[in-house]
Amino acid sequence: MIITIGSKNKTKVQALEEIISDYELLKNAEVVAIDASSEVSEQPKTLEETVKGAINRAKNAWKDCNFSFGIESGLIEIPYSKTGFMDVTICSIFDGDNTHLGIASLFEYPKEVTKMILNEDCDISQACKKIGLTENEKLGEDGGVIGLLTKNRLVRKNQNKQAITTALIHLENPELY
């Protein structure tokens, strides 16, 4: 079995590689990372844009495979949160006909980071660097902002695993969907 993933970001690829052994349906699958376009902005700022990015990555990675995966993170409006926005990670699985979606836990960026992303067209790594949270210009390929804020209790790879796991509910229980 071949599974493609529409990204070469190591947190996404490693999350998928680690999770497949937990699923009889995917056991012993070969994971192939493909640099697939999300066809959305570098830093999505709505739920619709983030979901669309994940779906586009999965569909654009559909090449000689049994399943393709797309993972996208972005900001979404959340009423009553301190900044009005939270980070969401969405996983889309494409089986050649249908799309299956899953979502990870949400969390809130620091106020200054959210302002920069919304007003200065920065991505998350740039915004965190500008306010002095990190020097890492590739934060999203390491522990991510979630890793910084939780002191590595929850890192981006594990958040990606959450999104993959919730998307796999559909494949593992097809009779329910």
- Domain 2-108+155-176 sits in CATH at 3.90.950.10
User: How is the chain classified by DSSP, letter by letter?
Assistant: -EEEES---HHHHHHHHHHGGG-TTTTTPEEEE------S-SS--SHHHHHHHHHHHHHHT-SSSSEEEEEEEEEEE-TTSSSSEEEEEEEEEE-SS-EEEEE---B---HHHHHHHHHS---HHHHHHHTTS---TTGGGTTHHHHHHTTTSS-HHHHHHHHHHHHHHHHH-GGG-
Give me the pLDDT at residue 73, please: 96
Domain range list for the chain: 2-108+155-176
Print pLDDT tens along the chain (177 aa): 999 999 999 999 999 999 999 999 998 999 999 999 999 998 999 999 999 999 999 999 999 999 999 999 999 999 999 999 999 999 999 999 999 999 999 999 999 999 999 998 788 888 999 999 988 878 778 889 999 999 999 999 999 999 999 999 999 999 999
